[in-house]
């Protein structure tokens, strides 16, 4: 069932993002309904919680090791922002899952997306145990203020750094930017023990002991 859903979601991604409407509208409506069901049935949150459970076990092991070591390291965790730290699901649902600039403008300018609760839980666990937090996002620098406002309103009140892409970044993939940001964090003396994101481009490129790929209801 899960595999089938992933395949369906992949088709939706092609249809919505690339605007290739190769499947009938009736089928597209059905697929959108399945996305909604995946979300509303609790399956999405269940998948998230399973992932966070694994991550939590690793974090607690690394924190304990670090605490018992004579040479304490500066441990850090990295989070992507959209559909990782924050949930934009309602915006996409309201716009019938069209991944267009109007939806993104609303997400960015309204700055009121709620947190993804399982991710916020692991954030709180990390903060509570002295692990430093960094956010690395494909959002542009022009949206730094709005991003800070949204992170704060979602309860992400403590972090060491927020990395955004420069306004003229023109690589189609966020991966080089995100890898470089993690490299910079590492050069500052932090050990990134976990990196969370909903896209593989959030996670490729190293500079993290563990990577955690979140399920994404569209991609």
Using CB under 5 A, list all residues that contact Mg ion.
Answer: 80, 82-83, 198
**What's the rounded Cα separation, in Å, for the pair 89 and 38?**
12
* Minimum gap (Å) between residue 112 Cβ and Mg ion: 17
Which lies closer to Mg ion via its Cβ, residue 89 or residue 190? Answer: 89
Cβ at position 182, least distance to Mg ion in Å = 15
Smallest distance from Mg ion to CB 174, Å: 9
- Between 38 and 62, whose beta carbon lies closer to Mg ion? 38
Give the 3-state DSSP-derived string for 29-59, with helices as H, strands as E and coil as C. HHHHHHHHHHHHCCHHHHHHHHHHHHHHHHH
- The DSSP bridge partners found for residue 211 are 195
CB of 117 to Mg ion, least distance (A): 16
Query: Is 56 within 8 Å of 125 (Cβ atoms)?
Result: yes
By beta-carbon proximity to Mg ion, the closer residue of 93 and 129 is 93
Q: What residue number has its CB nearest to Mg ion?
A: 82
Q: Which is nearer to Mg ion, 77 or 80 (CB)?
A: 80
Instruction: Please give, one letter per residue, the 3-state secondary structure of 119-152.
Output: HHHHHHHHHHCCCEEEEEEEEEHHHHHHHHHHHH
Q: Which tokens belong to 85?
A: 């730290």
């Amino acid at each position: 069932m899960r595999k089938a859903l992933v395949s369906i979601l992949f088709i939706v991604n092609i249809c919505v993002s690339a605007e290739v409407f190769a499947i009938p509208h009736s089928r597209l409506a059905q697929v959108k309904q399945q996305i909604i069901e995946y979300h509303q049935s609790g399956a999405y949150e269940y998948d998230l919680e399973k992932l966070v459970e694994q991550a939590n076990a690793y974090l607690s092991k690394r924190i304990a090791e670090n605490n018992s070591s004579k040479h304490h390291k500066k441990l850090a965790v990295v989070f992507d922002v959209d559909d990782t730290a924050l949930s934009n699901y309602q915006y996409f649902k309201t716009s019938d899952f069209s991944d267009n600039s109007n939806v993104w403008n609303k997400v960015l300018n309204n700055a009121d997306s709620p947190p993804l609760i399982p991710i916020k839980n692991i954030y709180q666990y990390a903060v509570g145990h002295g692990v430093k937090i960094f956010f690395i996002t494909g959002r542009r620098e022009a949206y730094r203020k709005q991003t800070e406002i949204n992170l704060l309103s979602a309860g992400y009140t403590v972090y060491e750094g927020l990395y955004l892409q420069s306004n003229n970044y023109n690589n189609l993939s966020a991966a080089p930017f995100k890898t470089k940001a993690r490299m910079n964090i590492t050069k500052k003396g932090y050990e990134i023990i976990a990196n969370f994101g909903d896209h593989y481009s959030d996670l490729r490129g190293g500079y993290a002991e563990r990577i955690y790929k979140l399920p994404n209801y569209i991609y």
